[in-house]
Structure 1
């Protein structure tokens, strides 16, 4: 795990919130941040797959990470945003509670991921970012969205 932390040294992360927790994803994977708009629901998909939207001619699957990680009382308000990700020529949107800032973390700011976590399996974590009292859970978003449990993301884009 420490090798992973060293690989992502001196990197910038987009900071977003899910409930009370702050997460960070590699800023280079972020295409844009948009307000949450209506999406077209697709039949027979899990609840966390909200549907698809047309983003300038590209059909983009929209996944609500809050539902995926079993948050209760998910609501959509002016702070709810969609982070549009560009992952190996695939565009995917993830719904989160909010986005706060971009944080640059040096190698010394990144710790190995713990062996346990409440919402995410540690196989999708690259580490913990710590700066002062602030702690970020660093997510390998590409690995998470390409996992078997998210395989429907691949299926949506093959149509």
Structure 2
């Protein structure tokens, strides 16, 4: 049995987890600059450690209702093909360890493109954590559009 560590974050009332090995850093939400004619899920660009990086609003990308930013709002920074990208989430609450025996495969009810980035469902006491691969959340077309706006 192997165990992995996940960063747990919230979008609304739902909990999601991503492999901690994919996370560069979690930072407080900061202002971003809107980019004209960019896809709706791109919140804008921001200065992260001297580099301009795009910020993706996961709620918009998942077709969820966007909410107002507050003190808990975070940006999860990952490396994607040697480029850093920030994902805006409502809250990044904790890290958890999940044994393979506590992870169920992606339910059959989930079909289409969503199935590609949902890697399973973690069970932790009375909680269900949807495990996702942020690298697969973005389609090739999305990645191309992001590359076009980078400075």
TM-score relative to the length of structure 1:
0.85
Aligned to 1:125: 118
Of the three residues 56, 59, 64, the one matched with 1:63 is: 56
Asked whether 1:142 is paired with 2:135, we answer yes
**Unaligned stretches of 5+ in structure 2?**
none
Aligned to 2:25: 32
Of the three residues 65, 68, 81, the one matched with 1:75 is: 68
| Change beyond 3 A, Cα 1:73–1:140 | closer
Residue 79 of structure 1: how far off its partner (Å): 1.1
| Change beyond 3 A, Cα 1:98–1:125 | same
Residue 123 of structure 1: how far off its partner (Å): 1.3
Asked whether 1:11 is paired with 2:10, we answer no
**Superposition RMSD on alpha carbons, in Å?**
1.9
Residue 73 of structure 1: how far off its partner (Å): 4.8
TM-score relative to the length of structure 2:
0.89
**Unaligned stretches of 5+ in structure 1?**
1-5
Residue 130 of structure 1: how far off its partner (Å): 0.6
